[in-house]
Amino acid sequence: MHTFYVPPSQIDTDTATGVPIAISVRGSEHHHLRKVLRITPGETIRIIDGRGNVYTAEILDTPTNRSSSEARIHTHEFHATPSPTLTLFQGLPKNDKMELILQKTTELGVTRIVPLHSEHALRKPSQNRYERWHRVLISATKQCKRAWLPELHKAQQFADALAQLESFSLCLLLSSHTEQTFIAPHREIQHIKAVLRETPRTSDIALFVGPEGGFSDQEIAAAIQNGCIPVTLGTNILRTETAAIVGIAVTVYEYLT
């Protein structure tokens, strides 16, 4: 059964009961349904609204020249948000690496992604880029059968991200062994797995991943001062996109499985 993303605003409910009864598939999802997959009236599709609601619905017989496809809802399930929530604060990488990060961390279960401006990441994404990233999230969410669409925030300054850390139970800063002397000259930086296993069950986790070149010494010091725990993923130096994917994967393995 094919999956389509439809925002809550395109789902009609019965005014008397509040029960969802019909769905309007529009835009690129309508084009994919009609022109690419050539789904015909009478076929059943799976629909997610990105907010935990999953529907099965039957495509109705509507004119092919319309800008939307109408569907009658047959079943409805609600999926609660997974716990803990996982927020990735990602230093803006170069080229199209952000798309890979968005795609793979969505498949792994990230809750929200916050791109970061930092000393080594000064790129300013355009509105077209954000729209492209949003489409990547939708595609990955549909592909892996998630019920919740990850939240994608506008890029923030590093200092603004640190100001939000009080809302998290656990804040981790991925570091490399090359930063050992600066961060902890008298002790070994712990592996992320060890920190996760030593920490009581938490509800909200933040993971900071630097861009190419990592975070600056000043940024690392400020993060630690604001409660971030520096952790490693091992002795190998990973690319930023690899570090983000592995960091989320290890966290999910330790806390959500």
203 band by pLDDT with thresholds 50, 70 and 90: confident
Residues 216, 238: Cα–Cα separation, whole Å = 17
Q: How far apart are CA 210 and CA 216, in angstroms?
A: 9
Cα–Cα distance between 5 and 158 in angstroms, integer?
32
The pLDDT mean for the chain works out to 90
**Cβ proximity of 41 and 62 under 8 Å:** yes
Q: Residue 5: phi, psi to the nearest 5?
A: -100, 125
d(Cα 89, Cα 70) in Å, to the nearest integer?
A: 38
- Residue 67 tokens read as 């800008």
> Average pLDDT in the 222-243 region?
92
Question: Residue 226 pLDDT more than 80?
Answer: yes
Helix (H) or strand (E) holding 170: strand 170-174
Please tell me the least confidently modeled range out of 21-25, 65-69, 190-194, 217-221: 65-69
4, pLDDT greater than 90: yes
pLDDT band at 234 (very low <50, low <70, confident <90, very high): confident
pLDDT surpassing 50 at residue 186: no
Whether this model's pTM surpasses 0.75? yes
Name residue 205's amino acid.
I
Could you tell me which residue, 65 or 192, shows the higher pLDDT? 192
Residue type at position 133: W
Please report which confidence band the pLDDT of residue 120 belongs to, taking 50, 70 and 90 as the band edges.
confident
What are the pLDDT digits (tens) for 141-173?
A: 999 999 999 999 999 999 999 999 999 999 999
* Longest CA pairwise span in the chain (Å): 72
CA 221 to centroid of chain Cα atoms? 27
Rounded average pLDDT over 89-104: 94
Average pLDDT over residues 174-197: 72
Q: Are 158 and 117 in contact (CB under 8 A)?
A: yes
Higher pLDDT, 202 or 230: 230
Beta bridge partners of 234: none
